[in-house]
Amino acid sequence: MLYSLFSLILVAYLPGALIFRSPTFERERRERLATEERVFWAIIISIAVSSTIALALAWFEFYRFERLLLINGFLSGVIVALYRQRLRFEGSARLPNGTALAPIALICLGIWLYFPPAEYLMGGKDPGVYMNEGLQIAQSGSLVITDSLLASLPSESRDLFISEQPESGIQAAHTGLRFMGYFVTDPDSGTVVGQFPHLYPIWIAIGYGLDSIDGARAVVGVWAILGVLALYFLGARLVGTIPALIGALLLSIHVVQIWYSRYPNSELVLQAVLLTGLLAFARAYVDELEFFGPVAATLLGLSMFVRFPAVLCLLAVVGAMLISTADNRRPRASFLAPFVIWQMLAGLYFLTILKPYVALPIEF
């Protein structure tokens, strides 16, 4: 129990809290954010850091939950060693007030509505694919799977299990009974990859490391709560706390939100990542808080590793950036440079790891 609690803090709070407190990028300005938003950013930044590290480890077939903890702990230690006493907020930091009760109420409501999650572990449809992708990452440490039985099949017998697409030469696991929801990328070596981007499966693997199967199943409910909180904080930034709270409450109790919060899917992950990315973008470009530039770029970049339709939101962000430039606001290098890097990494990912995912829509 204590190990799981310590691991959760190290994965989802400590690195982000230390990064947020780092005396860089005019910290005194972000100190004046509401207490509850500062805590929210500590969690979101930690999640972004853990997502990036875990994705990188799994990309290079080196993921282990213990390695993620070790790297997060090392990163936290480096920040503490660099800044020490300067990590403490000065007198300008806002103290908690009545508005802090709003996110607490939303969290309690989410825990009541979104748990326990469905016990969906197997099946050829999307939930089973997501769960098995995540569990495979937890156990093998890689985004791709090596199926020894497939590799042992004689070449003349493979057509009984998988079918080749003549246009691309890609082995299409969709049509095989053994590989429903998976692409067979190399039948000779038995290499198989899931049909979906991997950020949600990465968090299933992290949940598995925190609390075995129960932790893996609970991941989608946690992301549902984060999505509701993200809407609240974005709404509070745009229209005020009362309308934001009403909107977040309506989202919390909506039947679609409740249904998907208990059902393995990546839509709710995308909901949280995009909303927090847009909030960070607003903080960077409208409020001119330089710190949030790389935060927004990272969150929006990670959205491409959740679902490809996130590109529509990214196009809107690029459009907003161009409009702000036309309005005599200079482009922010703190956002633009990491944003370009993330999109290059996403392109490389889709052209290597998930090449069949890109090829199939092109053929249709």
Q: Helix 14-21 and helix 35-59: axis angle, to 10°?
A: 120
AA letter at 225? I
The residues with which 171 forms a beta bridge, in sequence order, are 164, 184
117 to each of 65, 131, 146, 158, 212, how far by Cα in Å? 22, 13, 29, 37, 14
d(CA 120, CA 314): 32
**Per-residue three-class SS string for 58-114:** HHCCCCCHHHHHHHHHHHHHHHHHHHHHHHCCCCCCCCCCHHHHHHHHHHHHHHHHH
The low-confidence residues of the chain, meaning pLDDT below 70, are: 123-124, 163-179, 360-364
The pTM of this model reads 0.93
* Residues listed for the chain: 364
Would you state the pLDDT for residue 259?
95
- Give which of 304, 301, 350 is closest to 49, Cα–Cα: 301
C-beta of residue 261 within 8 angstroms of C-beta of residue 250: no
Question: CA dihedral in degrees (167, 168, 171, 174; nearest 10)?
Answer: -70
Would you state the pLDDT for residue 157?
78
Determine whether 203 is exposed, middle or buried from the number of CB atoms within 10 Å of its CB (0-12, 13-18, 19+): buried
- Give which of 24, 160, 16, 33 is closest to 83, Cα–Cα: 24
Would you state the pLDDT for residue 159?
75
Domain map (residue ranges) of the chain? 2-122+198-363, 144-194
Determine whether 129 is exposed, middle or buried from the number of CB atoms within 10 Å of its CB (0-12, 13-18, 19+): buried
The residues with which 172 forms a beta bridge, in sequence order, are 163
Residues whose CB is less than 8 angstroms from the CB of residue 310 and which lie 6 or more positions away in sequence, other chains included: 270, 273, 274, 300, 303, 304
d(CA 55, CA 142): 9
Cis amide prior to 197 (ω within 30 degrees):
no
Would you state the pLDDT for residue 361?
58
Alpha helices in the chain (DSSP H): 2-12, 14-21, 27-31, 35-59, 65-83, 101-114, 126-140, 148-152, 199-239, 241-252, 255-261, 267-285, 292-303, 310-326, 333-352, 355-363
Starting at the edge strand found earlier in the chain, the sheet holding 171-172 runs 144-146, 191-194, 182-186, 171-172, 163-164
Would you state the pLDDT for residue 170?
47
Which of helix, strand or coil describes residue 172?
strand
Would you state the pLDDT for residue 171?
43
Would you state the pLDDT for residue 123?
63
Would you state the pLDDT for residue 94?
82
Would you state the pLDDT for residue 179?
62
Q: Beta strand 191-194 with 163-164: parallel, antiparallel or unpaired?
A: unpaired
